Chain A
Amino acid sequence: MPEAPPSPIMLAPPRARRQGLPPLVLFAVGWLGLMLGVALLANVVSPYAYTALDLRNRLSPPIGFGGTTAHWLGTDELGRDVLSRLIHSIRMSLLIAFGATLIGAVVGTTLGLLAAQFRGLVEQAVLALVDFSASLPFLILALAVLAFFGNSLTLFVCLLGLHAWERYARIARGLAISAGAQGYAAAVRQLGASAWRVQLRHVLPNIASTLIVSMTLAFPEIILLESGLSFLGLGVQPPATSLGSMVGYGREYLSRAPWILLSPAAVIVLTTLSVSALGDWLRDRLDPSLD
């Protein structure tokens, strides 16, 4: 990796193997495909409505542990089908993570480009904000904001969107400053392009691959944050359900009905693992300069 020439054109690192995908990456792609399919078709594939009660089959264990085919993954304390709740939780968690990742990328990149474009006071202000976010663990910040502004879903997504914005801002600013000093940016500027045209049409496409890799790093972190906050009861609120809130409610039945929390927990771990594996692989391919 260190031998790679410092060129803006992305070169494949020398150690990249050409023969097919590693098994972990294959698994990751398969799993994420499955999750996306489940999220998109949630209403079609879930056997019951996720709020439907089956009071005669409360705390029924999953199939293979004494359960019946009526509830493949068992039921919870109100007789709600765990599989159906899991499917809707996957949809909710993925929706939140996608939304928040996009918000973070757009906000961070915009601020970074602004800082690179105007330098001076704007840049100092952006850097001060970056310092500020680095000074508080995001979970603490999110806890304070959430509990005090209440729990609307929109606010929750926007709040999670602020996670990692400073990373995009820092990367975008650094790359845009160095890109601005290069021939192509100067050339379009000489042709009379406006500053924004230079930034958005010429600089941004050239730094996009690095930003996309950062998004694959932020995505699993946001899933973990969302599930952590929902676990604490401060994220997604009932009757809506997410992977974290399922684990949070299942915790009460840990000794009697561990299946309620084990299936969402497994989905969280497998999903974050898959996105991380895919992100690592992409990073090795696209941009060896990131750590």
Chain B
Amino acid sequence: MLRFLASRLLRALLTIGMVVTFAFVVLRLSGDPAQIIMGSEAPPEAVAAFRASWGLDQPLWVQYLRYFLAILEGDLGRSMRDGRPALDLVVERIPATLALTLPALLIKLGLGIPAGVTAALHRNSAIDRAVMLLAVAGFTMPSFVLGLLLVLVFAVQLGWLPSGGQEGWRHAILPVVTLGIGGAAALARFTRSAMLEVLGQPYIRTASAKGVPWRAVVSRHALPNAAIPTVTIIGFMVGSLIAGAVVVESVFSWPGVGRLLVVAVANRDLAVVQAILLLVAATMVTANVLVDLLYGALDPRLRAAPKGVR
């Protein structure tokens, strides 16, 4: 178990290293940030001074090494726009984003899993068809379409809720519902197919054949086994808590990490984009490691043979 943990952590670190490298390569090789920030009209001395003060006059590998070392010390650079530390800029936006994504996660879990399980247990019934139809509809509708439809109905037509901004909890309702519905639909679909897979297994037939009540078969035998694949997608949802609302935040002008990313990308604010990329990757990788550990807790077979995980 310890060896498994160590190899998993090593791979996680390697992945984060790759993300840092990727961010560096893409962002630095795509153009000259000094020209873009200062504009093409700027006097050459000013551009040169700017480049020197940001270390942009050094060879690329020096910039890369410096960047890597700085990250190890927790320094993600400063925003080229207002000179504040990039990490601070990002971190102060996190609560606003979590205020949307955490309640949305609760909706996803509270709606998606029961719906999927019910649909699977009543396969091919009217309930199953209704759930699946809703799930496919929610799953194929892009979040910006759903969000704008909700705005059209509840803000423009009925005037019940504000269409955007962040002044109070009422402003959060539409974005949270938008995020929650899409995720719940995906989760319901996934839970249903995981449940169906498990319900067709021989051990379920054995359990019913030996006289275990159906209720107990479902709760003791089917649910824990169906949880194993479902945990993967939940892990992904937890991993995207920070950056899972880019589009929805834009629809509702919500000042979270997603808005910051879109604005930073438009302004070519390298440090901020890199900080967000890194933070998102770290969250995602952590969630993946937790999922792998949870697999071990849920499925004794994987504890014995950690190589099979994946």
Given A144-B273, A269-B140, A277-B136, answer yes or no on A261-B148 (Cβ-Cβ < 8 Å): yes
Are A132 and B22 closer than 8 Å at their CB atoms?
yes
B-contacting 9-mer, from A39-47, A57-65, A247-255: A247-255
Contacting residues, chain A, for B284 (C-beta < 8 A): 134-137
Interface 0/1 of B1-35, CB less than 8 Å to A: 00000000001001110110011001100110000
**Interface flag for B225 (CB, 8 Å):** no
| Nearest CB in chain B: distance from A188 CB, A | 30
Q: Which parts of A1-41 form the interface with B (CB within 8 Å)? A: 1-3
The yes or no answer to B79 lying at the interface (CB within 8 A) is: no
User: How many contacts between A and B, using CB within 8 angstroms?
Assistant: 133
Determine the chain A residues whose CB is within 8 A of the CB of B268 once the complex forms: 147-148
Please tell me which one of the listed residues A1, A139, A247, A273 contacts residue B246 in the complex, with CB atoms under 8 A apart. A139
> What are the residues of chain B within 8 A of A137 when measuring CB–CB?
240, 243-244, 280, 284
SS class, residues of chain A in contact with chain B? helix
Which residues does chain A contribute within 8 Å of B144, judged by CB atoms?
Answer: 227-228, 231, 244, 247-248
Which A-chain residue is minimally distant from B139 (CB atoms)? Answer: A276
Contact B140 A144 (CB under 8 A): no
Mask for A140-155, Cβ within 8 A of B = 1, else 0? 1001111111000000
State whether A144 touches B244 (Cβ < 8 A).
no
Instruction: Give the interface segment out of B89-97, B166-174, B211-219, B259-267.
Output: B259-267
**Cβ B15 vs Cβ A265 within 8 A:** no
Instruction: Check A128 for interface membership: any CB of B closer than 8 A.
Output: yes
Q: State whether A143 touches B136 (Cβ < 8 A).
A: no
Q: Which residue of A lies closest to B144 (CB)?
A: A231
Chain A residues with CB under 8 Å of B149's CB are: 265
Quick check: A227 and B142 within 8 Å, CB to CB? yes
Cβ-defined contact, B140 with A2, below 8 A: no
Q: Check: A220 CB closer than 8 A to any chain B CB.
A: yes
* Inter-subunit contact A2/B19 (CB<8 Å): no
Q: Does A216 contact B (CB under 8 A)?
A: no
A interface, size bucket: 35 or more
How many of chain B's residues have a CB under 8 angstroms from any CB in A? Answer: 56
**Contact A247 B145, beta carbon cutoff 8 Å:** yes
A232→B268 CA distance, assembly (Å): 16
Say whether A132 contacts B18, CB under 8 Å.
yes
Which one, B201, B251, B265, contacts A234 given CB within 8 A?
A: B265
**Contact among B139, B152, B247 with A139 in the assembled complex (CB-CB below 8 Å):** B247
Bound Cα distance A261, B246 (Å) = 20
Hey, which chain B residues are within 8 Å of A248, CB to CB? 144
Considering the chains assembled together, what is the distance between the CA atoms of A87 and B197 in angstroms? 42
Q: Which of B190, B200, B247 contacts A232 (CB 8 A)?
A: B247
Interface pair A140/B201, CB less than 8 Å apart: no
Q: Is B285 an interface residue (CB 8 A)?
A: yes
Cβ contacts under 8 Å, B148 to chain A: 247, 251, 254, 261, 265
B229 proximal to A (CB < 8 A): yes
CB contact under 8 A between A143 and B197, given known A148-B30, A254-B151, A265-B149? no
Q: CA of A3 to CA of B200 in the docked complex: distance in angstroms?
A: 8
B19–A136 touching, CB < 8 Å: yes
Query: Which of A144, A227, A254, A258 is packed against the most chain B CB atoms within 10 Å?
Result: A144
Instruction: Tell me how far the C-beta of A138 lies from the nearest C-beta in chain B, rounded to whole angstroms.
Output: 11
Q: Are B244 and A291 in contact (CB under 8 A)?
A: no
- Least Cβ–Cβ distance between B143 and chain A, in angstroms: 8
Instruction: Pick the residue among B23, B145, B251, B277 that contacts A269 (CB under 8 A).
Output: B145
| Docked-complex contact A273 and B140, CB < 8 angstroms | yes
Please provide the chain A residues from 227 to 285 with a CB less than 8 Å away from any CB of chain B in the complex.
227-228, 231-232, 234, 244, 247-248, 251, 254-255, 258, 261, 265, 268-269, 272-273, 276-277
Is B193 an interface residue, CB under 8 A from the partner?
Answer: yes
Contact between A2 and B201, CB atoms less than 8 A apart: yes
Most chain A C-beta atoms within 10 Å of own C-beta, residue among B22, B144, B276 = B144
A54 within 8 A of B: no
Question: In whole angstroms, how far apart are the Cα atoms of A242 and B143 in the complex?
Answer: 17
Q: Tell whether, in the assembled complex, residue A135 and residue B23 are in contact, meaning their CB atoms are under 8 Å apart.
A: no
A135 touching B277 by the CB < 8 A rule?
Answer: no
Q: A291-B193, A291-B197 are in contact. Are A148 and B19 (CB under 8 A)?
A: no
Specify which of A1, A140, A251 lies most central, judged by the most chain B CB atoms within 10 Å of its CB. Answer: A140
Which of A140, A231, A234 contacts B277, CB < 8 Å?
A140
Cα of A258 to Cα of B27 in the assembled complex, Å: 38
B156 on the A face (CB < 8 A): yes
Q: Do B142 and A136 have beta carbons less than 8 Å apart?
A: no
Whether, in the assembled complex, B250 has its beta carbon less than 8 Å from a beta carbon of chain A, the answer is: yes
In contact, B261 and A143 (Cβ under 8 angstroms)? yes
List, in ascending order, chain B residues with CB within 8 A of A265's CB: 145, 148-149
Residue ranges of B at the interface with A (Cβ–Cβ < 8 Å): 11, 14-16, 18-19, 22-23, 26-27, 30-31, 136-137, 139-145, 148-149, 151-152, 156, 163, 190, 193-194, 196-197, 200-202, 229, 240, 243-244, 246-247, 250-251, 261-262, 265-266, 268, 273, 276-277, 280-281, 284-285, 288
Of the A-B pairs whose beta carbons lie under 8 Å apart in the complex, a sample of 12, sorted by A's number, is A1-B200, A2-B197, A131-B11, A132-B22, A144-B27, A149-B26, A231-B142, A232-B262, A254-B152, A254-B163, A269-B142, A273-B136
10 A-B pairs with the lowest CB-CB distances in the bound complex, closest first: A147-B265, A148-B30, A272-B140, A2-B200, A265-B145, A273-B140, A255-B156, A132-B18, A135-B15, A131-B15
